[in-house]
Amino acid sequence: MNFTQMHEYLRMELRRRIQRGTVSVSLLARQTGLGQSHLSNFLHSRRQLSLDAIDRVLAAQHLSAADLLPALYQFETLSGLEENSMVPIVSHAAALFEPFIRPSGAQSILHLPAKVLTSMRARVSNTRRAWQRFVAVRMPAADAMAMEPVVLPEAIVLLDRHYISLAPYRPNRANLYAVRNGAHLTLRYVDFIAARLILRPHNLAFPVEAIELDPGESPNDLLAGRIALILNEP
């Protein structure tokens, strides 16, 4: 990790904490002795921090440099495998909200042939482009039932978080998405009709749901990613 990358990872982690409400610019200024305008400029990518300032921020937020690394970087270093062949299995909340998966956030690692990931096409917004692209989640029975038999209980599904377009990935085949439904991750086929995101289950015993978008919100804002691979366990 070089100096520029450290800045970007730290910036994204602080933005995440501010969005979650666990820290504010004013609190961070009091903790570190740095000016609020200085920190605000850093958070908005208008300036960088000195090494001393980075050390103060890390200490104030109880972080180490290793905590800023995506999980794949650490596992790559330990195993010597190609980065693209490893995907962190994470919590549903991390898949929805975490731009980068820290080592402590990876429950385990899913190993895949590198060509499986590198061959996938992306359709991503500029804001999401900086996110770690692939993560995987396990689907407990309560969350999988609406998509049975496509997704079975305890299946591991691979999310491509750089595919958040409603354009079909393959002709004449509906995309399956991980959707942010409130604070919950939901797997559904998706349409956008009359300013509403329509969530369709595979199992017809479950209802179709509609999510009304907030002003200024786009359908892409609610899509965590396309389901690129489903591993149904026996």
Q: Quick one: pLDDT at residue 3?
A: 63
Backbone dihedral region for residue 87 (phi beyond 0: left; psi -120 to 50: alpha; all else: beta): beta
DSSP state of 162: T
Mean pLDDT of 88-115: 87
83 pLDDT more than 50: no
The ranges of the chain annotated as CATH 1.10.260.40 are 3-68
The ranges of the chain annotated as CATH 2.10.109.10 are 71-231
The CATH superfamily assigned to 3-68 is lambda repressor-like DNA-binding domains (1.10.260.40)
Secondary structure of 125-138 in HEC code, one letter for each residue: CHHHHCCCCEEEEE
Query: 71-231 architecture in CATH?
Result: Ribbon (2.10)
User: Does the predicted model carry a pTM greater than 0.75?
Assistant: no
Q: How far apart are CA 180 and CA 224, in angstroms?
A: 6
State how far the alpha carbon of 73 is from the alpha carbons of 47, 70, 117, 151, 203, in Å.
Answer: 26, 6, 16, 29, 38
Residue 186 DSSP SS3? strand
Q: Which of 20-24, 166-170, 224-228 has the lowest mean pLDDT?
A: 20-24
Q: Measuring CA to CA, which residue among 85, 88, 58, 84 is closest to residue 70?
A: 88
Helices 36-43, 25-32: crossing angle, 10 deg rounding: 120
Which backbone phi and psi does 228 adopt, to 5 degrees?
-95, -20
Mean pLDDT of 51-65: 85
Q: How far apart are CA 133 and CA 223, in angstroms?
A: 13
pLDDT in tens, 150-169: 999 999 999 999 999 999 99
pLDDT in tens, 163-221: 999 999 998 889 999 999 988 999 999 999 988 999 999 999 999 999 998 887 888 88
134 pLDDT more than 70: yes
Q: Quick one: pLDDT at residue 102?
A: 78
